[in-house]
A and B are shown apart, each in its own frame.
Chain A
Amino acid sequence: MISTPDETDESDGTVRQPTDDGGPTRRAYLGSLGAIATAGATAGCIELATGEGGGDTTEFTAGTFAHEGGHCMDCVSPSPGWAISEALEDRSDGDVQMSLLGENQVCDSSTCGGKAERGIVEAGYGSIGNGTNFWPENNVWLLPYTFPSRAALSYTLFDERIWEQYWVPFAQRYGIVPFYGWTPELRNLLLSPDATEIAGGRVRTPEDLEGIRIRRTASRPPKVALEEWGATAPELSWGDTVQGMDTGVVHGLETWSGVGLAGGMGEVMDQVTLVEFMCGQGVMWASTDWLQGLPADHRELIADVTRELTEEAIQQADEVIDDRVGHDDPPPEGTDYAEQGITVNVLEDDELEAWRERVDPMDNPELYETERERVADLDLDVPTEDFYEYIYEIARESDVPESAADVTVDAWWGEYLDRI
């Protein structure tokens, strides 16, 4: 849908209906001729972008729901997309042109990934969660408490072993690769004033969720986790969620803070509970056919730029949370949570354990058999018993940096294209 903004997120698939988050910048609003007269006047002076790498130039289109006002590199939910587009143009002297169409102009979170896979656009956004709509194997990344930190998430996702043993077979099956990544986060519970009322104050334990309805996306693991905790978990679009938190249709949602704030949830939130339970990772996916068909120098430049800026986005993860979002109790002055008067529940270790133990895949393997079986179909060649264990172990290696600021991206799609 054309819609606007916010849809955001993650949501796997569900987010079909865009909605507004009210912010003015929300739509890039390209659009239409509208009147025939206008068409006549402008048709003569536009250049048709063909999206093909003809001759010396490479032009391509990437579609996303994101808007520059909430998702620039200095924003509350950083995406390197606009910076990549600029860097490509600068470093190629204008020979490589990435047209990043945001705000659902050509597709939204539930359709962009599919459109990239089908070659309708060269690249399309979908969080790991959204993408499960088309690529159900990716559910394996969404099992709760797989990643102990934001640093561990990025470290694992873009590790050399994972490229070889997961993204390459994945690309062979679907014809797409992760093209660049957003700043990583972990998912939390964003709750409305109604939730506060029902819980009689702060939500700090799973018991507090009784009688609370939390919007979930279409992917299965978050549904499992929410229900294990005792919440009701209806599926809703992002837009309906904003309205629904206002009217009491739902009392909250699970997502990552940055995307929630960029998507207008701040206005309908009262508190956030930092359960940090699942991967919150925005990804731009690109068609491998298209990448393989590019002139080598352009392809190398695109690989370099996307890698460098993804790394830059990852390295600011902790700063984003501390200085822009405000995950502290009370949230530091100047952060979004402070400005919007939102209560932040930072959990003590024993409190967090109460959330973790009910849904952790290592303690409750039976809950996630579907996801593990699904990924087993890819016949991945890994040294552990199953692929999930493999990523679980990598995420806990001693080499995982303390801080996301120290994560480096050492392996990238450019090196694997010839194996796909």
Chain B
Amino acid sequence: MDLAQLLDDKLICVCAGSGGVGKTTTSASIAIGMAARGKRVAVLTIDPAKRLADSLGLSELGTDLKEIDPKIFEPFGLEMTGELHAAMLDPKRTFDELIERYAPDHDTYERILDNRIYKELSNAVAGSQEYMAMEKLLELHELGDFDLLVLDTPPSRNALDFLDAPTRLARFIEGRSLRVFLAPGRFGLKLAGRSGSLLFSALKRITGIDLLKDLSEFFANFADMASGFSERAQRVDALLRGSESTFLLICSPEHEPADEAIFLRRKLHEQKLPFGGAIVNKVRRDYFRARKQLDDNLSEQLEARVMENYERQRLLGRRDAEGVERLEKSLGVENVIEVPLFSDDIHGAEGLVHMIDRLFA
């Protein structure tokens, strides 16, 4: 697979895969590699653990897009002819900006930002990251400042959570089914009909009256904005399905991450999302057909230990090679991009340049 060729006419590259396979580092390397090929690139991460900053050798990375100094890669022989920007997204702020955009008036905007439920949920809760990633992607895409946007997907419990995010965002905002029977009435809330009051008392028992009331207010405030969100969700959906987007699956040769990639491949197919290829990180050296004679200058005891270690490493390398073969077969691709296992995590400019050399080989 030729990464530069694949990404040449793409506007969006989504990197997906399970945790611990080097997704963030790979996203950063792809972005740098394309910037070195003259593109204006932005790489986005939603990672709460500051891994992109780590990857780029920065101590901090803000929520606003920041241009990365091309000089940090120069000592290692990489010349940045394009531009590289990076940001770590902040769910709360992205949500606030969205509300500002869609609120019909300033009062509604302030009322929502003041709502207790909004305050708690927009900030603290897992899952909001995925909504936001998609939102920011759309926003940047529509701004049109960049040739390529690279998205590092959040480390979800389920690596696919983010794919449903646009729809869930709309569903969350609309709260359609709840609004039907939580219409604010004279006594705070009223419910339609007999079954309505039964349901109401059941819900009240679970949640307590206050929570129901706050939820009701929350959704009432959103009522005028729901169509805006829903329409936006559809636009993100269309964007990701389009030919200007591509999904790269990132994994390692180990069983579980590889299985996750195979599973993701199937999901992409089901959801008609464009699959671009797979990158397999942390592949151990395969000593198949390597010269194994040792010169005769080691003690017998040391030679035995060298051979014992070799046998172990050889088996590990074989296992990884089989893992890659299995992956290629299951994904239905001719070849995946293999990145070798380095002696430590890739971090800092030098390591990234090594990785880029492998990715764009």
A and B, one complex? no
